[in-house]
Amino acid sequence: MRVSLIIPVYNEKRHLARFLKTIDDLQLNCDKELVFVDDKSNDGSTDILKTYDFQSRVLLSFQEKNQGKSAALAVGIKQATGDVIGIQDADFEYDMEDIEKLINPILSGEADVVYGSRYKTNIYQVRRTVHYIANRFLTVLSNMASGLYLTDMETCYKFFSKDIIQNINITSKRFGFEPEVTAKISQLKIRIQEYPIRYFPRSYREGKKITWKDGVATLWYILFYNFLANKKTFYYENSW
């Protein structure tokens, strides 16, 4: 069995070499594949990716123009060969040691999709008030629209059975992946689980990129993918 981690990269030079070593060294209870998609970085991140001496199985893609995280994820998901496919940001906000407990329910056949929740936890990590309130608000709206009950729709750590995620047609840009994929899996008769994870938020000075404009865009994505979009376009032909 193999897990593929889809890792979009955009201007992460400051800590990228340290991140690559950490994710490359990560030991899981199955084979690991790292799928990097560089979203037209202009700070030297591309050169670091091209020259790093990986020990893991690695796939590298380089976008011809900057298209945003969601578009980069769509590219990586199509290329992945793992039985389980998950999302990993190219930073240290999420604890990579949590990955194994998130993939195990899928590997064992107990779940089809697993979300890691930053809020379903007893760890008292201090959070930034505005981001916390925004994330909880967007999760509630997504739950009301999709019919799912999640505590953290906006989480990065999402893991999927390969057959499910590679059959979902991802069309959003920038940070639209979270509400889009949540709306689309809500239409499927599949087993979705959620587990607590550790989270260490970084500041804009440290490289955080999402802004209030992306929060407003997420409101639109929740409305569009749950109520307005043609559901016949959600999945590739003859997939479901």
pLDDT tens across 76-99, in order?
A: 999 999 999 999 999 999 999 999
160 lies in a domain?
Answer: yes
Band of residue 211 on the pLDDT scale cut at 50, 70, 90: confident
pLDDT at residue 180 above 80? yes
Q: What is the pTM of this model?
A: 0.91
Is residue 63 within 8 A of residue 37, CB to CB? The reply is: yes
Give the model's pLDDT for residue 136: 81
45 lies in a domain?
Answer: yes
Q: In this structure, what DSSP letter does residue 85 have?
A: E
CATH of the domain at 154: 3.90.550.10
202 lies in a domain?
Answer: yes
Number of domains in the chain: 1
Domain range enclosing 80: 2-233
Give the model's pLDDT for residue 111: 98
Beta bridge partners of 192: 113
Q: How far is CA 236 from CA 164, 167, 171, 182, 208, in A?
A: 11, 5, 12, 17, 33
Whole-angstrom Cα distance, residue 3 to residue 235?
22
